[in-house]
Every structure is written in structure tokens, then in C-alpha cells.
Amino acid sequence: MNVKINREEIQFNDIEGIRIGQCQDAEAMTGVSVVIFDVENAGGIDISGGGPASRETHLLSPYTDTKSINALVLSGGSVFGLSASDGVLNYLENKKIGYQLGSQVIPLVVQSSIFDLTIGDSNIRPDAKMGYQACVDAENNVIPKSGSFGAGTGATVGKLLGMNRSQKSGIGYIAFKIGEIKIGAMVVVNAVGDILNYRTGEQVAGLVNNNRTRFMRTDEQFYNELPTGANTTLAAIFTNCKFSEAEMNKIAAMARSGLSRSISPVNTMADGDTIYAFSVGNEKADINVVGSLAANILSEAILKAISTSQCPDEIYLKSIIM
């Protein structure tokens, strides 16, 4: 007997226990997206790219002491943008949010950054001020915007043959409810590869020809041009289901299938692809079900990042740094 699964799209802030804030510099084309955790959580991570820019991600390893994370930071700026966490730490310390160690409160913050220094103003990177402001924005607990906002402000795709052959991308948020299970995905799509509709295989963004009139396939050009490490797709999965840290690491790994269905090529040495996964609730569910759903929802979030980040060529070409 076939059982129909009723999947209902919900707002991202319907997932209890997290608040999202964003800050961006539209002219410099870079920004920060912060997730503040209001509840105890268990986190995991899957790093499949060859060049991640990250901070404190080892806190999510099942081999380290298990502690609840206070904030997740995604940003532009490559390694320079990792200073955005300083502002998040200051914010959390001021709010007395963190791990109690003696008389001190130690906020636990993890971060990953994309390389967006070839668009906008490469001399302006996310800093502590921008990270702090993103936390202040999270106080409003509004529905986070997809597109060229936060960490997705300077995101681009299809960069193998240079920025003048690439396209604008951004950040995507999407969440669903299946019965009592809630799962959401946020993703900053900043890939060397092309973006595909995971349902049909059709290319929807990426490498274009010289006069920008049609798509080309990045994977077919790899034989002639080696990629450089100026790319990273960052994602985070959130669920109200109860899992351990080790199980969330497995769910993060399973969610990688969502990248594989939607980005081609992906997980290269020229990418810093990273997926976070967090349990923020107590619903009971099978890990295989949640991991599979996470992969599909991640693919949906990738499509949303593309569809909300369209930019006219004349404006886009003026913004890139050749």
C-alpha cells in the first residue's frame, strides 16, 4: 500500500529554537548571516570541499566534548571574513549566553566563509561590527530573506572560465513540515560548477558563453581549464527531531546528496563545500528518513537561492572584479 506523505512548506522561523539575522554591504557585495540558538542542540558537520575557510568547526566532531552551540555564522570575505565571529562573540558575551566555565561565560560559535573577493569591493570584508549587527537583526526573529542578502550578497556560480562568464547567486532558505517533523535548510551557493534543477537535470545557472546568450557545461570544460580555489557552497540543516551529535554528523553527510543533485561539478579541491546540521527539538524520527529529507530540502533551497538572486547582466558585469 502506498502512503502519501503530506509535505507542507512553512516559514523558516516556524522552526522553534533558532533565530536568524543578516547584515550586508550592498555596494561592497559581501555580508553575514547568523543563526542564534535559543535551545540546547546537537550539531554535526560534513566538509567535502578541498579548501574550507572555517572557525571552531571541530566543536561539532563526535570526538570532542559534546556541548551545545550558541551561534552559527556564515559570511563572505574568505578567511578575512572569519573576524565576523568576533562580533558575534561580543554580542553573546554581553547577553551572558554561552558555556559557563567558572565565573566566565564562553560563547561557542562556529563559522564558515565563502570567497567573494572577485565581486564588489574586495577591500571591504565582513568584520566584527557586521557580525554584531547580524545578531541584533536576529532579535526581530523575522522571516530571513533569500537572494542577495547576508552571506549570499556576493555569491556567484559558474566561474571556471572567469567572472565575466559566471552568474549571480545568493542565499536560499526553505523549510517544510512532514507530520510533526520540521526540517529547514539554508544555503549559500557559491560554486565553481553549474546549478541544476534536481528534478529534471536542466541547467538553471552557471557557466555561460562569451556573449552570455546560452549556458555551457562546466564539467565539459574541466579537461581544458583547471579550477582555482575561489568557491564554496555553505549549507545548514535544522530539524526539531531529537538526535545525538554523532547522528547529526551522519545527517550532514547524507544531506551532501542534495549538493550532488544540484551542483555539477561539486566537492572539488577548488571548493570549500561544508554542510552543518543541528537538532533543536525532541520529536522522534528515523535517521534515514530525516537524512533523506534533508538532502531533498537542501536541493530545494539551492533552487530558491538561484531564483531569488537574478541580476541583469549590465549591472552584474559592472560589479565583478576582473
- The reply to whether 40 falls in a domain is yes
155 lies in some domain: yes
Q: Is residue 235 part of a domain?
A: yes
Does 141 fall in a domain?
yes
d(CA 172, CA 187): 5
Backbone phi, psi, residue 174, to 5°:
-155, 145
Does residue 65 contact residue 268 with C-beta atoms inside 8 Å?
no
Per-residue confidence (pLDDT) for residue 177, from 0 to 100: 96
Average pLDDT, 10 consecutive residues per value, the chain (322 residues): 70 96 97 98 92 91 88 97 98 95 93 96 96 97 96 96 95 96 97 95 96 94 77 96 97 96 90 94 97 97 96 92 72
Q: What is the pLDDT of residues 232-254, one digit of tens each?
A: 899 999 999 999 999 999 999 99
pLDDT given at position 268:
84
Give the number of other Cβ atoms within 10 Å of residue 278's Cβ. 30
**Which structural domain range is residue 16 located in?**
7-316
pLDDT (tens digit, 9 = 90+) per residue, 158-168?
999 999 999 99
pLDDT score of 1: 38
Which run of H or of E encompasses 279? Answer: strand 274-283
Report yes or no on 2 lying in a domain.
no
The structural domain count of the chain equals 1
Quote the pLDDT of residue 272: 84
Q: Specify if 292 maps to a domain.
A: yes
Q: What is the CATH number of the domain that holds 312?
A: 3.60.70.12
For residue 30, is it within any domain?
Answer: yes
Asked, as a colleague might, if the bond just before 312 is cis with ω within 30 of 0, I would say no
Q: Does residue 215 form part of some domain?
A: yes
- The pLDDT of residue 3: 45
Report yes or no: 189 and 152 within 8 Å, Cβ to Cβ.
yes
